[in-house]
Every structure is written in structure tokens, then in C-alpha cells.
């Protein structure tokens, strides 16, 4: 070996043709099995920090194949692949292959930089002389091809952008067209909405006008018929007049149906939230159709177990739906049974769902008409020879009322077998103060119930249990089985029934008090201590039991229900303002029957002059009169006659819209009587009118004297009412405060609404106004403020009400 060879290949360095390798691949490098660099090309050493002896993993990394790590064994397994290696601290990337030199235990990377243009070459500090010849030409060719490809890509991109710009221009034009179309559509919708509102207002006005025009003659028809029935008549004449009055009532019911339907359609129907007795509403509903049911010989009654006694809701609307469903059931049932089954299901902590099921054994509903039963003006019998009348509005109104009250009306019917209409309404739970003698202190009687009708028998058993007694039920008298009884309720009243009862009972029947349960209109029943009419009602049975207890104990029973009798006619000075001559006559005659005389004027201007010349206690004011309307006359009276502010002014109008009622009150009227006038309603209104006196004892500002006087409640009764109100108001105020702390705005609104209503009913105007502000704020999500002030006013209100009740009896008290 020559000296030159030793210099080129120092001891320990592999004897490879590095000079030739370096000329062909100036960027080559070799690594041993320990990953150490043992040789580098000149260009690689000059442009990178790859040095002999360095760990190749510290300075280089493999980019492709990405799955191969930079270690000897992994590279050896992929030696045939193309590798891309990058500097860790630089921008240069190398491409090439690894070649194994097994006799020296090394791998040699042969490749060159990945350069696509001259700019990259210069950026790395290289020249063409640093590259192998074939690599430089290949790179230049590749660079040219890449440039060409880039130009084509740019052209394609520009073309794409042009197309997108054209599409965007068209989209903008379409957007502008759509925007203009939308603006036109919004304008059309606004115009349609305005037209619909105008149409609705016109319809409401038309219905109100028609209601007035229809009710005005009905006032004369029903009023004069009622007055004529009070005179001496032959049986035939009385029968004719009864028919006229019944037909007038039916026509008035049709008018009311149409008016209710219009109110619901225009969303002007207001629901009340007040306490009412569930069973009383059911029994009142039965009373309204019991005559027709009795005339058909129907088994008629109700069942109500585990139903709360007092709830909070709109009793009038509940009764309206029940009467409608009962009327239909009786109308379409020729024989068999019509009944109401009442249940209660808890909805939440403060509300229950009352479920009324009205069942009948009538003709049922044809299958082809069942899907349209709740459509307006639809009837089950739509043939031209209908046996049954009606407007077809009843079920439509009933369902809409039920849904307004948080429930619904559904039905199930089998043609030829009968129908069941299910009416659900959501009501509030009310605290029920205990009445009368506590249940544990009552005398528990054993009551025999003999009744063949399953409905009447179950109803009697349920009512007897409600009264705290023990019923023993049987279908026939001999079914009592010799039980020891305190008295018997006998559904049959024939001589055979009495004889069977005598044989069945262990004591002589003459010594055992018996109650006869008889159909409506039946006469007295000899041999029976008491009689009650079917369908049996709670209050009637309670009175019957009280009379039986008197018979058993031979002492005066405590009446189960206190009857409050109001005073007779007061010497009131009454003015009637009415332009219709027939209506003038009707009102004057109705007043005469109640013991009153009245002065009559024909328009509002005359009413104003009459009041200016002399004092009156009451003015019955028609609204639509010539020269000056009733509303305008009332406003003038309130504004220009300060010494007549105590006069009560009641509107007389055929319009029954709630908006008309509000307008009357806003004008300064004190009440609202709907034509046709009924003597009971007129008497009730007169009972609340005080005679104007020279001076009145002062009341604190927390109370409204006019409201209290209009109620005309005897002070003894008022004291009891105030006690109930005080307990209820304190409980509700506590719930109000707790709900406010929880930020339960819905509960705050409900409690404030209920307490405001009960307070306003007792004339607590200041407290009611404060609670309505709390209710309005709660509906807006605003927490109540000033609850301490409300509590103070509540205490003052209760104190003032108690003082007002005591003052009438001379018991003192601070007003």
C-alpha cells in the first residue's frame, strides 16, 4: 500500500472508493450499526451539520416512508424503497436509497437534494457544481415540468374563480329578487293581517249588534210571558204560555251559543278563577235537564267518590259544558240511563284534573260522523228529517272551553248502544275549612238503602258515606238480611215494596223512619217520614237525614245548611231610562211585582235632567238610546253632578260581550243586567242597592264601601266570611312569599291573581291593586317587591272588614 493510499484511507476507516462515490453523489453519507456517521460527501458536510462520529438520529429524520424509523435494522428491511430524509435544523430534504455494505457492517445513503427550481438551490447556498450531473438535469427537467404543471393549475384555478364569481353574481341577483319578493310578501301579509283584524272586529261588532237586536224583542217576549203567567189563567192558556216561554228560552240559548262561539273564535273569552263546590256544580247541571229526563223515565243521577269538595276554577264554564253534554245525552236517549261519573286525578302539587264522564244508553253516533262531531254546525243526525234540533255548536264550544281550561272533551260511542263523553278540566286545589260537626263527633247511623236501579243505589251509598253514616245496600227489601237499621231509604214506594220491607226488617216498619226516593214531581208518599226527589242531591239528603234524626231523637235537629233570608223590598227611588216602549212596560211591571215604583225617561239626556232635579237611589240605564246614549249620560252624571255620586247606575243591554261590560264600568256604571231581564236577576241586583243617606260612617281607604254595600250581605254572615277570608289570605300570602324566594314566577302569578280576586270581592281595593301589580310583574318574570307593605295592608284590611261587620251590631271596633 502506498503512502497516498494510507492518507486517503486512515486506519479504521472502511476501504471504499469514497472519491468516486463523492463525485457521483456529493450528498451521500454512511452509518454503522450503532447509528454513527462514518463518512459524508463534501457537499453534505459543507451545507449541513452532519459530521463523522455524530449520531445520525440527532441531525436527520426520515419523512418517507413515514413508517420506517431512522435505525439500522428498520432501514435494512426497506432498503429497496425511495427515501426522503430531512435535516432537523434546516430546510434541506434529500431523496435517494440506502445501500448495504455487509462486509463493513454499514449502510450508505446515495442521493441528492430535493430541488425543484433554481431559487431553492440558491436559498440553500448551493450551485449546480454541488450536484451530480444527472441529478442536475433531472432536477431542471423536473422543475420545468413542475412549472408547466403549476401554470396549468393556475389557469384552472383562474377559470374556477371566474366561474365562481359568475355564480356569485347570479346568486346576488337572485338574492335581491328574493329580498324584493319577500318585502312584497311581508307587505301583503301585513295587509292580510290588517284585513283579517278588520274582518274580525266587524264580525264581533255584527254579532254584538245582532245579539242586541235579538235580545231586545226576546226581553219583551219572555218578560211579558212571565208576567202573564202570574195572572189568573185557564189550564189551556197556561199551557200555551208555558210553551211560549220554553220556546223563548230555547231561542235565547241558541243566541247564547252563537255569542259564546264568537267569543272563543275571537279569543275574547275570559275565564274566572274562583273557589267552587264540585258536587254543587254537578247537581245544578242535573237540575237543568232533570225535567226532560224524568219525562222519558230515564235512570238519571251521578257518582262521585274521592272528589275534592272545593276547587279553584271557572264554575260557570264547567257547568256550561256539563249541561251541554247532559242535554245531548238526554236528547238522544229514549230509554235506559244517563249518568255523570266524576273522578279526580292529581296533576301536580297545586292542581288536579277533574274527569267528568257523561254516559248514556241512547242511539249512539254513526261511525261515518264520529270524526266530525266537534266541527262547528255538525250534528249526529244530519238527515233532512231530523228528529232532534240544535245548532251543532254545543260540542264545538264545549271542546274549546275545555281546552281553554287546560283539558279536553273526547268520546267513545257504539251505534245503537250509547255514548260516553269524557270531559277533563284542570282546577286548583283549595283549602277546605271544616263545616258543621266534626266527623268523629257525629252520630254514625246505619242506613238501609233499597234501590233497584244500580245508578241510584250507588249514588245513594256514596252520598250516605259522604255524610259520615254506614250504608247497607240491597236491590230488594229482603236483601237487607235482617240488619239492625236506624232508618231506610226506599227507592220503590208501592204497597208491595212497603210490605216486603216489613217482612224483611226485625222491627215493625211503623216504628222505623223511612225516606222515599221518588221521581221528580211525585206527590207526597203516605207512611214515609221524609221524601227526596231523584236524582238524589247531597243537600237534600243531608236535610232528610237531619229530619230523620229529629224523628229518632224527638228533638229539633240542627239544620245542615243555614238558610240566609235577605230583607224585603226597600223603599228605593228608581229611574228607568229606556227608549223602547215595550221594554219600558216590561221593566216597570217587573219592578211593580217586586214592590217598587219607578219613573221612566226615554233617553240619556232626560235621565241626566231627571237626576239633576231630584235624587234617585238607582238608575236602570239602557245603552243604545237616541239623543244621548246611556254611556254618555253616565259619564256626564259622574262628571257634572257631584251631589249624585252615590246613585247606583245599572246598564240594561242585550249585548253580552265582556268588552261591553268593561266599557260600562269604565263609564262609571255599577253593574250590568243582560236583556231579557229575569225577575230573579233583577231582584238580586236590587238587594245590593242601598238607599242614599245624608251621611255614611267613614271607612278606611283600604276598603271600597260601594263594593261592600252592593254585596248586601248580613253582617253576621259577613263576619263568618271575613274569618274564612282572613285564614285563606294569610295562607296564600305565605305561599306567595315562599314562591318569591324560589323565584317561581308562575306560582307567584297564580297566587297573587287568586288573592287579588278574593280581596276585590270583599271591597279590599287597595290590597287587590297591589296584588295585581305583583301578578303583572310575575308574568313578565320580575320578582315581587314590597311584600312587607302588602302584609301590612292585608292586616289593616282584615281589621277594617271585622270592624265594618261589628259596627252594624253596635259592638264597637275601630274603623
List pLDDT tens digits, range 472-484: 888 877 777 666 7
Q: What pLDDT does 356 receive?
A: 94
pLDDT tens by residue, 217-233: 776 777 778 778 777 87
Question: How do strand 337-346 and strand 299-304 relate by DSSP bridges?
Answer: parallel
Q: How far apart are CA 27 and CA 129, in angstroms?
A: 12
Q: What pLDDT does 358 receive?
A: 93
pTM: 0.44
Residue 158 · residue 166 · CB < 8 Å? no
Instruction: Provide CB contacts within 8 A for 579, sequence distance 6+.
Output: 602, 603, 622, 624, 625, 626
Residue 702 · residue 785 · CB < 8 Å? no
Return the SS3 of 98: strand
Q: How far apart are CA 630 and CA 605, in angstroms?
A: 9
**pLDDT at residue 557 is higher than 50:** no
What's the order of all strands across the beta sheet hosting 29-32?
A: 37-40, 29-32, 106-113, 93-101, 83-87, 60-64
**pLDDT at residue 784 is higher than 70:** yes
pLDDT tens by residue, 274-292: 888 888 888 888 887 887 8
pLDDT tens by residue, 311-360: 999 888 888 888 889 988 998 898 889 999 999 988 888 889 999 999 99
Q: How far apart are CA 359 and CA 337, in angstroms?
A: 8
- Highest averaged pLDDT of the listed ranges 252-261, 335-344, 656-665: 335-344
Q: How far apart are CA 109 and CA 60, in angstroms?
A: 12
Q: What pLDDT does 262 receive?
A: 61
Q: How far apart are CA 542 and CA 161, in angstroms?
A: 93
Whole-angstrom CA distances from 762 to 407, 576, 775 are 31, 29, 19
Return the SS3 of 317: helix
User: What backbone torsions phi and psi does residue 782 show, to the nearest 5 degrees?
Assistant: -100, 130
- Highest averaged pLDDT of the listed ranges 84-93, 419-428, 497-506, 596-605: 419-428
pLDDT band at 388 (very low <50, low <70, confident <90, very high): very low
First to last CA, the chain: 139
Residue 529 · residue 516 · CB < 8 Å? no
Q: How far apart are CA 626 and CA 770, in angstroms?
A: 41
Mean of pLDDT values over 739-743: 87
Give the DSSP letter of residue 413. Answer: E
Q: What pLDDT does 480 receive?
A: 73
Q: What pLDDT does 695 receive?
A: 39
Question: How do strand 618-622 and strand 648-653 relate by DSSP bridges?
Answer: parallel
Q: What pLDDT does 699 receive?
A: 42
Q: How far apart are CA 348 and CA 485, in angstroms?
A: 42
Residue 325 · residue 421 · CB < 8 Å? yes
Q: How many other β-carbons are positioned within 10 Å of the β-carbon of residue 172?
A: 10
Query: Which residue from 521, 561, 545, 685 is spatially nearest to 277, judged by alpha carbons?
Result: 561
Q: What pLDDT does 715 receive?
A: 57
Q: What pLDDT does 434 receive?
A: 47
Q: Half-sphere exposure of residue 106, counting CA atoms within 13 Å on the CB side? A: 19
Question: How do strand 299-304 and strand 470-474 relate by DSSP bridges?
Answer: unpaired
Q: What pLDDT does 2 receive?
A: 45
Which of the pair, 143 or 102, is modelled with greater confidence?
A: 102
65 upstream amide cis, omega within 30 of 0: yes
Q: What pLDDT does 577 receive?
A: 92
Mean of pLDDT values over 154-167: 89
**pLDDT at residue 267 is higher than 90:** no
Instruction: Provide CB contacts within 8 A for 677, sequence distance 6+.
Output: 219, 223, 586, 587, 590, 652
Residue 569 · residue 592 · CB < 8 Å? no
Q: What pLDDT does 432 receive?
A: 58
Residue 475 · residue 457 · CB < 8 Å? yes
**pLDDT at residue 569 is higher than 90:** no
pLDDT band at 611 (very low <50, low <70, confident <90, very high): confident
Burial class (CB within 10 angstroms; exposed 0-12, middle 13-18, buried 19+) of 167: exposed
Mean of pLDDT values over 114-127: 69
At residue 257's C-alpha, the angle toward residues 255 and 262, to 5°, is 95
Residue 45 · residue 51 · CB < 8 Å? yes
- The stretches of 478-601 forming alpha helices (DSSP H) are 495-504, 538-553, 581-593
Q: What pLDDT does 386 receive?
A: 46
pLDDT band at 14 (very low <50, low <70, confident <90, very high): low
Q: How far apart are CA 538 and CA 612, in angstroms?
A: 52
Query: Which residue from 279, 259, 281 is spatially nearest to 269, judged by alpha carbons?
Result: 259
**pLDDT at residue 436 is higher than 50:** no
Q: What pLDDT does 232 receive?
A: 80
**pLDDT at residue 729 is higher than 60:** yes
Query: Which residue from 640, 655, 801 is spatially nearest to 719, judged by alpha carbons?
Result: 801
Percent above pLDDT 90 for the chain: 5
Chain-centre distance for alpha carbon 380:
29
Q: How far apart are CA 287 and CA 563, in angstroms?
A: 20
Q: How far apart are CA 15 and CA 106, in angstroms?
A: 12
Cα torsion through 713, 432, 426, 355, rounded to 10 = -110
Chain-centre distance for alpha carbon 601:
47
Return the SS3 of 555: coil
What integer best gives the mean pLDDT of the chain?
76
Which of the pair, 714 or 38, is modelled with greater confidence?
A: 38
Amino acid at each position: 500500500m502506498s503512502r497516498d493510499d494510507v492518507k486517503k484511507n486512515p486506519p479504521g476507516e472502511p476501504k471504499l472508493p469514497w472519491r468516486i462515490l463523492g463525485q457521483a453523489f456529493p450528498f451521500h453519507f454512511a452509518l454503522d450499526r450503532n447509528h454513527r456517521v462514518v463518512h459524508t460527501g463534501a457537499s453534505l458536510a459543507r451545507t449541513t451539520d452532519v459530521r463523522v462520529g455524530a449520531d445520525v438520529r440527532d441531525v436527520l429524520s426520515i419523512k418517507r416512508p413515514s413508517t420506517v424509523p431512522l435505525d439500522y435494522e428498520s432501514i435494512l428491511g426497506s432498503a429497496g424503497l425511495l427515501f426522503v430524509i430531512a435535516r432537523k435544523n434546516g430546510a434541506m430534504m434529500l431523496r435517494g436509497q440506502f445501500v448495504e455494505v455487509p462486509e463493513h457492517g454499514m449502510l450508505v445513503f446515495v442521493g441528492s437534494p430535493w430541488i425543484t427550481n433554481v431559487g431553492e438551490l440558491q436559498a440553500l447556498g448551493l450551485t449546480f457544481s454541488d450536484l451530480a450531473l444527472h441529478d442536475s438535469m433531472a432536477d431542471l427537467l423536473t422543475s420545468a415540468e413542475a412549472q408547466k404543471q403549476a401554470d396549468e393549475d393556475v389557469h384552472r384555478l383562474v377559470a374556477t374563480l371566474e366561474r365562481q364569481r359568475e355564480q356569485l353574481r347570479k346568486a346576488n341577483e337572485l338574492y335581491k329578487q328574493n329580498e324584493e319578493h319577500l318585502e312584497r310578501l311581508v307587505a301583503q301579509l301585513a295587509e292580510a293581517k290588517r284585513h283579517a283584524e278588520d274582518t274580525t272586529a266587524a264580525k264581533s261588532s255584527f254579532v254584538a249588534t245582532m245579539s242586541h237586536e235579538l235580545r231586545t224583542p226576546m226581553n219583551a217576549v219572555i218578560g211579558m210571558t212571565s208576567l202573564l203567567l202570574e195572572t189568573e189563567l185557564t189550564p189551556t192558556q197556561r199551557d200555551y204560555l208555558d210553551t211560549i216561554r220554553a220556546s223563548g228560552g230555547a231561542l235565547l240559548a241558541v243566541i247564547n251559543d252563537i255569542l259564546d262561539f264568537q267569543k272563543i273564535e275571537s279569543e275574547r273569552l275570559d275565564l274566572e278563577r274562583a273557589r267552587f263546590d264540585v258536587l254543587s256544580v254537578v247537581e245544578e247541571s242535573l237540575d237543568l235537564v232533570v225535567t226532560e229526563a224524568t219525562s222519558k223515565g230515564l235512570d238519571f243521577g251521578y257518582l262521585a267518590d274521592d272528589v275534592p269538595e272545593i276547587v279553584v276554577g271557572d264554575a260557570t264554564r264547567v257547568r256550561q259544558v256539563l249541561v251541554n253534554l247532559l242535554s245531548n245525552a238526554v236528547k238522544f236517549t229514549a230509554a235506559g240511563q244517563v249518568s255523570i261519573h266524576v273522578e279526580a286525578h292529581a296533576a301536580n302539587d297545586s292542581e288536579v284534573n277533574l274527569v267528568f264522564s257523561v254516559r248514556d244508553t241512547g242511539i249512539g253516533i254513526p261511525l261515518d260522523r264520529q270524526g266530525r262531531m266537534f266541527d262547528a254546525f255538525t250534528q249526529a243526525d244530519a238527515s233532512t228529517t231530523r228528529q232532534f234540533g240544535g245548532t251543532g255548536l254545543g260540542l264545538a264550544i264545549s271542546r274549546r272551553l275545555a281546552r281553554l281550561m287546560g283539558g279536553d272533551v273526547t268520546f267513545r260511542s257504539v251505534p245503537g248502544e250509547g255514548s260516553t263523553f269524557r270531559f277533563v278540566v284542570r282546577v286548583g286545589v283549595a283549602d277546605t275549612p271544616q263545616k258543621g260537626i266534626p266527623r268523629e263527633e257525629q252520630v254514625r247511623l246505619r242506613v238501609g238503602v233499597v234501590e233497584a236501579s244500580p245508578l241510584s243505589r250507588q249514588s245513594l251509598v256514596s252520598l250516605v258515606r259522604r255524610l259520615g253514616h254506614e250504608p247497607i245496600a240491597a236491590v230488594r227489601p229482603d236483601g237487607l238480611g235482617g240488619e239492625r237499621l236506624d232508618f231506610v231509604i226506599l227507592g220503590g214506594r208501592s204497597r208491595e215494596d212497603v210490605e216486603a220491607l216489613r217482612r224483611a226488617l226485625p222491627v215493625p216498619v211503623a216504628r222505623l223512619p223511612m225516606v222515599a226516593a221518588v221521581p221528580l214531581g211525585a206527590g207526597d208518599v203516605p207512611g214515609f217520614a221524609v221524601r227526596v226527589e231523584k236524582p238524589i242531591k247531597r243537600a237534600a239528603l243531608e236535610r232528610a237525614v237531619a229530619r230523620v234524626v229529629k224523628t229518632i231523637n224527638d228533638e229539633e235537629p240542627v239544620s245542615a245548611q243555614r238558610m240566609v233570608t235577605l230583607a224585603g223590598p226597600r223603599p228605593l227611588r228608581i229611574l228607568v231610562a229606556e227608549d223602547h216602549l215595550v221594554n219600558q212596560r216590561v221593566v216597570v211591571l217587573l219592578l211593580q211585582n217586586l214592590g217598587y215604583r219607578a219613573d221612566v225617561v226615554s233617553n240619556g239626556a232626560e235621565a241626566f235632567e231627571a237626576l239633576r232635579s231630584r235624587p234617585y237611589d238607582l238608575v236602570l240605564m239602557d245603552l243604545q238610546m237616541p239623543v244621548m246614549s246611556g254611556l254618555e249620560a253616565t259619564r256626564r252624571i259622574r262628571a257634572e253632578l257631584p251631589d249624585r255620586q252615590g246613585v247606583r247606575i245599572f246598564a240594561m243591554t242585550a249585548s253580552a260581550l265582556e268588552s261591553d261590560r268593561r266599557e260600562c264600568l269604565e263609564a262609571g256604571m255599577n253593574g250590568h243586567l243582560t236583556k231579557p231581564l229575569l225577575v230573579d236577576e233583577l231582584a238580586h241586583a236590587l238587594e245590593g242597592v242601598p238607599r242614599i243617606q245624608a251621611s255614611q260612617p267613614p271607612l278606611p281607604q283600604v276598603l271600597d264601601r260601594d263594593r261592600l254595600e252592593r254585596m248586601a250581605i248580613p253582617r253576621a254572615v259577613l263576619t263568618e266570611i271575613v274569618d274564612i277570608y282572613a285564614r285563606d289570605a294569610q295562607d296564600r300570602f305565605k305561599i306567595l312569599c315562599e314562591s318569591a324566594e324560589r323565584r317561581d314566577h308562575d306560582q307567584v302569578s297564580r297566587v297573587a291573581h287568586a288573592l287579588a280576586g278574593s280581596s276585590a270581592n270583599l271591597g279590599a281595593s287597595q290590597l287587590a291593586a297591589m296584588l295585581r301589580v305583583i301578578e303583572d310583574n310575575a308574568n313578565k318574570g320580575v320578582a315581587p317587591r314590597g311584600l312587607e307593605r302588602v302584609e301590612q295592608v292585608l292586616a289593616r284590611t282584615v281589621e277594617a272588614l271585622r270592624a265594618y261587620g261589628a259596627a252594624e251590631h253596635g259592638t264597637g271596633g275601630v274603623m
